[in-house]
Structure 1
Amino acid sequence: MKASLQRPEIKLESLKEDIKEFFKISGWEKKLQNAVYSELSVFPLPSHPAAPPEHLKEPLVYMRKAQGSWEKRILKSLNSMCTELSIPLARKRPVGEQKELLNKWNEMGTDEPDLSLFRPVYAPKDFLEVLINLRNPNYENGDSLSFRTHLGLIQVPLKVKDIPELKECFVELGLNIGQLGIDDSTQVPPELFENEHVRIGQKVLAEQDSAAAQQYIRQGSPTALRAELWALILNISSQPEDVLYYEQLKTNVIQHDLLVDSLIYKD
């Protein structure tokens, strides 16, 4: 590094600007911007440094208790079904079964295994009952009936946007703004909206700007550009390490048979 700084073409007074220019020319400026934007989108809100992970996931105590109770109920149902059907929660597939699964890997979406013996882990009405019984202990109004108690079955107070806030949040759904799926119908000539929207989408992809892509897609995504747009928004790229990770996941699926996979497949 010291030797590099002594080279005549490198000037310390312009080093910062030179690095910025290099990032811009090499394309790394956009990559860094997209990475930062992606992290900010999923970055958790500031919390107490001593808070345990379960508190970060769900800060409300009464919610955590309800979640814990529900998870125990689901686990009990799973174990009960395993006992009834004499199947394990997980097992390693025999070599022959692994080879068969590997040969039809690309046909798994069309394959329909017999899952008739598997029953739902819970009934929708059971889950609804849990939600109905949720009560915030800091928000009790006593047993007396009030207007609030007749607003719905679920009485958990949640912060929701009012009408003006919703209008501001979803301004792209306004009648005066074009929306793909509506303004590209057969009755509307494509040159009025669709062609221009596709052209802008291609320009957004050329710029490789995640923030711009997310804003653009709020007016709908053209089918031909959808995969590239979502990859840009989520900052996903098919790098060698991504391909390797996929192959590792694929190997795990081929080697191990999980009961949960069958339940998801049936769902």
Structure 2
Amino acid sequence: MDYIKFLFVAAPLCYIFNDPVQLYFSMKSLYLRFWFRLHEMNSHEQGMLSLCILFQELLEYHEPQLYFHFLSINIQPIRIVFKWLMRCFSGYLPPEQLLYLWDLILGYDSLEIVSLLATAILSFRKDNLLGVNSLQNIEAILADLSSIQVIPLLQLIIISK
């Protein structure tokens, strides 16, 4: 793993810990429990392949119109959100919202919440996404996640169907 990927998952913890020793051991614990799974391809149920498959299945189930719109314009939906999944949204969400997400991951002891959030974000921006026909325009719509509120979005996707 290169240092940049490591920094993206370590940096948000600087908002919590002032002591570098606590920061180090917390990061080490999170990395060994969760984050390493995001940076290797394997068949583990919490691994990157499983998270990608889960995302695709959730999107097809919750937003079939959007899912088939992407396919009709020759864009695999996973290509849009892969970077979010790989970094567990670090660098994409505001720190407060990112830490809410990570609290849920810890609370449920599962990375699957990341796939659920990726689906919820696409669902939230569905009307705009249905109006474009290129990867560049899709990425432009999803470039700024600063207004995303993790808990309400996850609640909406969970109770939607």
TM-score under structure 2 normalisation?
Answer: 0.23
TM-score under structure 1 normalisation?
Answer: 0.16
Q: Which has the higher helix share?
A: 2
Larger radius of gyration: 1
